[in-house]
């Protein structure tokens, strides 16, 4: 019997991937998969993306782009299914059952709902509201033990755990109650222009984020322009959030600790430090971008990856869904 712990995570194909998505989530997926200690499922959360209106042409491009980036970052489709959420109907099916077990009160408290409804004011669909119960379905369908995500997803994970416990108590043991896996460094990469805000691909100011596909020139320019403070010391501290954010980016891509970084730049100014951060980021992105370009030239391979992924994922998902349907009392078809 397979004793390995299960992992499920997802990223939305809602636009170009940022360095925040990479160090907060994707990079950890690669490490966890490599460790061979887990049985992993990696999902492109395309059904979540349509909670905000998408232009079909751009949406299709973003979806294939993200798949190629998953592979370019090192995810191995031979080891784990990599699939589109919309290709596994059980997500929508369990999502509905869980929506019917979610209180209006608890779902209204989600802070991502508040953020996104402010951003899309006048254009807020009900899917944005019920989105967390679909995310819970994504996780619970696979009986995941661990969910590697950035810190901003904590609240959604809490709700997932509450829903799992609620269902288990009401209908008997059905779902594994999952834990989050949130990295120590890079769980919340901040905007380069405003270190009180999360780095976000939907930020209108393109100097605020680094994209995984940014050219070396763009990376250097954006890091040079990043907000620091009027001091000159590379260290953590009150009022030094901008520097600290650059330090955590540096640590995340170089593998160094914050202490090592402070020691390395002792007596040096922000100019030297920013040059080093930019170089380290460029070096991290270079092989990923090269691999991405190769993969984008091989659409047949990408298609094979997601088709195969959906087939394997569907089998696991259906096992849970059938149990749930039986327990809630649906007549067997
Ligand atoms: P948006 O910025 O448009 O709100 P998003 O990037 O937050 O989108 P996703 O693409 O679904 O949303 O996020 C995918 C993963 O990346 C999640 O695990 C999320 O926690 C993580 N993530 C997103 N932004 C950051 C960040 N700035 N720092 C660390 N992790 C992040
Ligand atoms: N909600 C996440 C994306 C997401 C996800 C998931 C993450 C959808 N389903 C399941 C982990 C597990 C986001 O917007 N960042």
Of 132, 149, 188, best ligand 2 pocket probe by most atoms within 8 Å of the beta carbon: 149
Residue range 206-293 forms a domain whose CATH class is mainly alpha
Identify the residue whose C-alpha is closest to ligand 2 atom 13: 11
Cα torsion 160, 189, 61, 306: sign: negative
Inter-residue contact 37 to 3 (CB < 8 Å): no
Q: Where are the domains of the chain?
A: 5-186+298-328, 206-293
- CA 201-88-21 angle, 5° bins: 20
- Tell me: the pLDDT tens digits for 277-303? 999 999 999 999 999 999 999 999 999
CATH of 5-186+298-328 given 3.10.20.600, 3.30.365.10, 3.40.50.1820, 3.40.50.620: 3.40.50.620
Distance of CA 171 from the midpoint of ligand 1 (Å): 34
pTM beyond 0.85: yes
- Note whether 243 and 234 are within 8 A (CB): yes
Annotation marks residue 116 as catalytic: yes
Answer yes or no: are the C-beta atoms of 282 and 228 closer than 8 Å.
no
Q: What distance in angstroms lies between residue 187's CA and the mean position of ligand 1's atoms?
A: 9
Q: Whose CA is nearest to atom 15 of ligand 2?
A: 11
Ligand 1 probe mutation, 118, 152, 192, most atoms within 8 A of CB: 152
The helix/strand/coil state of 125 is coil
Distance CA 122, CA 178 (A): 35
Q: Structure tokens of 320?
A: 């849970």
Tokens encoding 158: 């809490």
Active site residue 286: no
How far apart CA 331 and CA 333 sit, in angstroms, is: 6
Q: Which residue's alpha carbon is nearest to atom 9 within ligand 2?
A: 135
Residues 152-171: pLDDT tens digits? Answer: 999 999 999 999 999 999 99
How would you write the pLDDT of the chain (333 residues) with one tens digit per residue?
568 999 999 999 999 999 999 999 999 999 999 999 999 999 999 999 999 999 999 999 999 999 999 999 999 999 999 999 999 999 999 999 999 999 999 999 988 888 888 887 778 899 999 999 999 999 999 999 999 999 999 999 999 999 999 999 999 999 999 999 998 888 899 999 999 999 998 888 999 999 999 999 999 999 999 999 888 899 999 899 999 999 999 999 999 999 999 999 999 999 999 999 999 999 999 999 999 999 999 999 999 999 999 999 999 999 999 999 999 999 998
CA of 188 to the centre of ligand 1 (A): 9
Select from 220, 229, 227, 188 the least CA-distant residue to 205: 227
Say whether 184 is catalytic: no
Half-sphere exposure of 99 (CA within 13 A, CB side): 14
Q: Is 168 exposed, middle or buried (0-12, 13-18, 19+ CB in 10 A)?
A: middle
Query: Which ligand places an atom closest to the C-alpha of 29?
Result: 1
3-state SS assignment for residue 63 = helix
Ligand 1 center to residue 201 CA distance, Å? 8
Tokens 């949406």 — which residue? 59
């Amino acid at each position: 019997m397979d004793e390995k712990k299960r992992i499920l995570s997802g990223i939305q194909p809602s636009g170009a991937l940022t360095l925040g998505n990479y160090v907060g989530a994707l990079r950890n997926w690669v490490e966890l998969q490599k460790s061979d200690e887990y049985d992993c499922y990696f999902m492109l959360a395309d059904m979540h993306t349509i909670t905000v209106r998408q232009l079909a042409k751009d949406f299709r491009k973003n979806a294939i782009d993200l798949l190629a980036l998953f592979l370019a970052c090192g995810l191995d489709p031979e080891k784990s299914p990599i699939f589109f959420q919309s290709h596994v109907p059980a997500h929508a099916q369990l999502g509905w059952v869980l929506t019917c077990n979610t209180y209006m009160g608890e779902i209204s408290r989600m802070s991502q709902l508040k953020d996104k409804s402010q951003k899309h004011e006048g254009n807020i669909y009900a899917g944005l509201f019920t989105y967390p119960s679909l995310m819970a379905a994504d996780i619970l369908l696979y009986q995941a033990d661990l969910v590697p995500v950035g810190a901003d997803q904590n609240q959604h994970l809490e709700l997932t755990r509450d829903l799992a416990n609620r269902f288990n108590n009401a209908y008997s043991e059905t779902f594994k109650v999952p834990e989050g896996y949130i990295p120590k460094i890079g769980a919340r990469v901040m905007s380069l222009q405003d270190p009180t805000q999360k780095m976000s691909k939907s930020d209108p100011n393109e100097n605020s984020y680094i994209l995984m596909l940014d050219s070396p020139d763009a990376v250097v320019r954006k890091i040079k322009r990043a907000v620091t403070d009027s001091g000159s010391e590379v260290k953590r501290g009150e009022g030094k959030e901008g520097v600290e954010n650059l330090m955590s980016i540096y640590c995340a891509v170089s593998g160094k600790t914050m202490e090592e970084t402070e020691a390395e730049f002792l007596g040096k100014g922000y100019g030297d430090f920013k040059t080093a951060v930019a170089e380290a980021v460029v070096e991290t992105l270079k092989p990923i971008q090269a691999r991405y370009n190769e993969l984008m030239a091989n659409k047949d391979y990408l298609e094979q990856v997601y088709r195969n992924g959906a087939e394997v994922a569907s089998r696991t998902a259906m096992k849970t869904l059938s149990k749930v349907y039986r327990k809630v009392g649906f007549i067997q078809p």
